């Protein structure tokens, strides 16, 4: 029997967490280990941070340009977060999924909710929790990217973000990075085999049942 298979529908994997819980580090490793997984690069109005690259980490745009895209209904989701705007263009994501390519979203819970609402059959949501708020504060301080008042605001906001973890399909506590990464990778692998995405199964099954043994 031929093993030819028609393309499957791509996985839309959404990973969210409070700032500092480790989602970006987990997502980067997942992408490094899985070359077929593409990052949905968000647009943002916030300032670029040391070490970030425009077009790789985010597409950095002006507030005026961002508003123009909102008015054109060009985003799959967008939100105001910590005084800045973030958004994900919809066309590249839909094109990738239709072509069987997997797309990773590294966003906040608000974006995850919006994307899932618009892509209910595709979205797989994973929420990353910190082991404690004190550890969350320590990580934010250690990465040295924000002023002290910004760090305290992020820690305070984390409680409100954590309240939304029950909206997600999977919840991981990032106490040990390697263990959390292994769990995230297992989720991704399992979702790639999900029946509803593998459009080739019906034909493959029919061919099996026609075999003479």
Phi and psi, residue 44, nearest 5°: -150, 155
Alpha-carbon span 195 to 180, nearest angstrom: 25
Task: Tell whether 89 is in a known binding site.
Answer: no
pTM of the model: 0.82
Check: CB of residue 68 under 8 Å from CB of residue 62: no
23 is in an annotated binding site: yes
Tell me how far CA of residue 155 lies from CA of 70, 138, 150, in angstroms: 29, 10, 9
Residue 17 marked ligand-binding: yes
The residue assigned the tokens 């924000």 is 146
Task: Establish if 91 belongs to a structural domain.
Answer: no
Q: Residues near 124 by Cβ (< 8 Å), separated by ≥ 6? A: 11, 12, 13, 14, 169, 170, 187, 191
The CATH number linked to 120 is 3.40.50.300
20 has binding-site annotation: yes
Domain enclosing residue 178, as ranges: 12-41+101-210
CB atoms inside a 10 Å sphere around CB 61: 17
Please give the pLDDT value at position 190: 97
Q: What pLDDT digit, counting tens, does each position of 109-137 carry?
A: 988 999 999 999 999 999 999 999 999 88
Q: How sure is the predictor about 67, in pLDDT bands with cuts at 50, 70 and 90? A: very high
In a domain, 50, yes or no: no
Q: Is residue 188 in some structural domain?
A: yes
Query: Quick one: what percent of the chain has pLDDT higher than 70?
Result: 97
Confirm or deny that 19 is annotated as ligand binding. Answer: yes
Would 96 be classed as within a structural domain?
no
**Per-residue pLDDT tens over the stretch 167-178:** 999 999 999 999
Measured in degrees and rounded to the nearest 5, phi and psi for residue 46 equal -75, 165
Say how many domains are in the chain: 1
Please state which of the ranges 22-36, 52-66, 76-90 shows the lowest mean pLDDT: 76-90
Tell me whether residue 50 is annotated as binding: no
Question: What pLDDT sits at residue 33?
Answer: 97
What is the distance, to the nearest Å, from the Cα of residue 207 to the centroid of all Cα atoms in its chain? 36
The answer to the question of residue 142 being in a domain is yes
Which tokens in the block code for residue 94?
A: 């839909």
Residue 85 lies in a domain: no
Q: Is residue 181 part of a domain?
A: yes
Is beta strand 43-44 parallel, antiparallel or unpaired with respect to 84-89? antiparallel
Residue at 122 is within a domain: yes
């Amino acid at each position: 029997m031929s093993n030819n298979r028609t393309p499957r529908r791509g996985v839309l994997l959404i990973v969210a967490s409070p700032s500092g819980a480790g989602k970006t580090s987990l997502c980067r490793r997942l992408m490094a280990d899985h070359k077929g997984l593409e990052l949905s690069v968000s647009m943002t109005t916030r300032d670029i941070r040391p070490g970030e690259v425009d077009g790789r980490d985010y597409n950095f745009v002006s507030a005026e340009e961002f508003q123009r895209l909102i008015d054109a209904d060009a985003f799959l989701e967008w939100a105001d977060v910590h005084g800045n705007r973030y958004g994900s263009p919809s066309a590249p994501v839909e094109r990738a999924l239709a072509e069987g390519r997997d797309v990773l979203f590294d966003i906040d819970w608000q974006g995850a909710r919006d994307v899932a609402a618009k892509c209910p059959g595709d979205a797989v949501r994973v929420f990353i929790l910190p082991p404690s708020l004190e550890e969350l504060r320590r990580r934010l301080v250690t990465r040295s990217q924000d002023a002290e008042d910004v760090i305290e605001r992020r820690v305070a906001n984390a409680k409100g973000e954590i309240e939304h973890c029950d909206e997600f399909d999977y919840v991981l506590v990032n106490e040990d990075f390697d263990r959390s990464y292994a769990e995230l990778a297992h989720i991704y692998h399992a979702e790639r085999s999900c029946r509803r995405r593998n459009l080739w199964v019906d034909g493959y099954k029919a061919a099996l049942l026609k075999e003479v043994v």
